Amino acid sequence: MKDGFPRGQAAIVGAATYGIGESPGLESIDLAVHASVKALAQAGLNPADVDGLFVCLPQDFLSGLSLSEYLGIHPKVTDNNRTGGSAFLTHLFWASVALATGQCEVALIAYGSNQRSGAGKLVSAQKAPYFEAMYRPMMPVAAYALAASRHMHQYGTTREQLAEVAVSARQWANKNPEAFMRGPLSIDDVLAARMVADPLSVRDCCLVTDGAAAIVLTRADRARDHAKRPVHVLGAAAATTHSSIVAMEDLTVTAARESGQRAFAQSGYGPADIDLVELYDAFTINTILFLEDLGFCPKGEGGRFVSGGRIAPGGTLPVNTNGGGLSCVHPGMYGLFTLVESTQQLMGLAGERQIANAKLALAHGNGGTLSSQVTAILGTAETL
């Protein structure tokens, strides 16, 4: 059957972050509500206008209910789908379908976490299965380190190439006043940093921060009432391959290959058309794997591709222009921030880091341990 994704029929009309870095005293749901009202206000809307709610909070498995109650709304569509950090791109997929088929009029996708102030470390949404836990892998970093070991073995990828990803992210963060980690970072700094799980040092790993994000969508026919430059969802597709890293068939190939192909096909565009790329960079190896799997370079070439500042400011392919999970924000689940940054870039609101004439963005979410992959292609009205 033909892929009937409603290309361009849903549009993002508001996108906001809140509390990036440290927000002591606020619960995760408080942070999510701050981001939500900010994104709604940007679109000239109130919580009462929301009839489609998509959310997952770190430790609240019924957060669709608790956030509805907190906002004082009675949504027709309440989606608490959890696919790990990619959940919010999964939400984007379903919100697009729900809007296009008249199931709701205003969709809100929200997330917030106080994991830095609250727990002081990554709050995992999943207990390790016994066949993993008995070997005491530090998860999730161990899984990504294993994938990196494999990529280095098969393709000759080096620690310096992994470090290029962290250095590029930092250079973008230095242009983003909201980013939590700013300041100089060199390849040598990354290589000399404390090792966590070989070959990954602490600078190959994402931050642990507080933070919240929200986006608001309407149908395209009323989007111009709410935003000067609405951001249309041209494609969104997901693929899941495993949960435990033990069950991942080839640690150098992710399901982003499949989600990316489908999302690009829905959109009618290809990698060469994309102006900016927002990838879920929980670890430096992620950026390399996803650039390969999404078709920006051949398999195995990711390390060479990111070298020489190609994805840094001034490079030919802007990647993670907010500073990413590595240098901007990573409150346990980062996925929604890829959509907020894509939106702000396409709306022309990205300040010093603005990509000139940005019309097409790719946002990509990762969940679990390279387990769930979700790709979205977003575009301005000119790309419809």
Partner 1 sequence: MTDTTTSPPTLPERDYLRFLSEGRFMLQRSRSSGQYVFYPRVAEPRTGATDLEWVEASGMGTVYATTVMRQRPPTPNYNVALIDVAEGPRMMSRVEGIDPEAVRIGMAVKARIERNGEACIVVFHPVEGQNAAQAGDTK
Task: Return d(Cα 357, Cα 377) in angstroms, integer.
Answer: 16
Closer residue to partner 1, CB minimum distance, 150 or 182 = 150
Stretch that binds partner 1, among 65-73, 124-132, 273-281, 374-382 (CB under 8 A): 124-132
192 in contact with partner 1 (CB under 8 A): no
Closer residue to partner 1, CB minimum distance, 41 or 195 = 195
Task: Return d(Cα 82, Cα 374) in angstroms, integer.
Answer: 12
SS3 182: coil
Phi, then psi, of 367 in degrees rounded to 5: -135, 150
Task: Return d(Cα 279, Cα 319) in angstroms, integer.
Answer: 7
Q: Are 89 and 375 in contact (CB under 8 A)?
A: yes
Omega into 58 within 30° of 0, i.e. cis? no
251 in contact with partner 1 (CB under 8 A): yes
156 in contact with partner 1 (CB under 8 A): no
Q: Which residue has 């906002």 as its token pair?
A: 71
| Contact pick of 46, 59, 149, 241 for partner 1 (by CB under 8 A) | 149
Stretch that binds partner 1, among 40-48, 123-131, 173-181, 263-271 (CB under 8 A): 123-131
Q: How far is the CB of 252 from partner 1 (least distance, A)?
A: 10
194 in contact with partner 1 (CB under 8 A): yes
376 in contact with partner 1 (CB under 8 A): no
Task: Return d(Cα 124, Cα 95) in angstroms, integer.
Answer: 26
Single-letter amino acid, residue 283:
F
245 in contact with partner 1 (CB under 8 A): yes
182 in contact with partner 1 (CB under 8 A): no
129 in contact with partner 1 (CB under 8 A): yes
Task: Return d(Cα 307, Cα 351) in angstroms, integer.
Answer: 26
| Contact pick of 147, 207, 234, 360 for partner 1 (by CB under 8 A) | 147
Closer residue to partner 1, CB minimum distance, 202 or 349 = 202
136 in contact with partner 1 (CB under 8 A): yes
Q: How far is the CB of 137 from partner 1 (least distance, A)?
A: 5
- CA 346-110-286 angle, to 5 degrees, is 65
146 in contact with partner 1 (CB under 8 A): yes
Q: Look up residue 72 and give its two tokens.
A: 């004082």
Q: Look up residue 213 and give its two tokens.
A: 């994000």
Stretch that binds partner 1, among 85-93, 113-121, 142-150, 293-301 (CB under 8 A): 142-150
Closer residue to partner 1, CB minimum distance, 46 or 244 = 244
Closer residue to partner 1, CB minimum distance, 147 or 190 = 147
Q: How far is the CB of 354 from partner 1 (least distance, A)?
A: 39
Greatest alpha-carbon span in the chain: 56
SS3 258: helix
Q: Are 294 and 278 in contact (CB under 8 A)?
A: no
Q: Which helix (H) or strand (E) holds 170?
A: helix 159-173
Closer residue to partner 1, CB minimum distance, 208 or 317 = 208
Q: Are 204 and 168 in contact (CB under 8 A)?
A: no
Closer residue to partner 1, CB minimum distance, 106 or 166 = 166
145 in contact with partner 1 (CB under 8 A): yes
Q: How far is the CB of 371 from partner 1 (least distance, A)?
A: 15
| Contact pick of 135, 183, 228, 316 for partner 1 (by CB under 8 A) | 135
Q: How far is the CB of 360 from partner 1 (least distance, A)?
A: 35
Task: Return d(Cα 289, Cα 149) in angstroms, integer.
Answer: 13
| Contact pick of 25, 102, 120, 134 for partner 1 (by CB under 8 A) | 134
Q: Are 207 and 178 in contact (CB under 8 A)?
A: no
Secondary structure (DSSP) of 319-362: B-TT-IIIII--SS--HHHHHHHHHHHHTT--GGGPPTT--EEE
Q: How far is the CB of 264 from partner 1 (least distance, A)?
A: 28
**Positions in the binding site for partner 1 (CB under 8 A):** 129-132, 134-138, 142, 145-147, 149-150, 153-154, 194-199, 244-247, 251
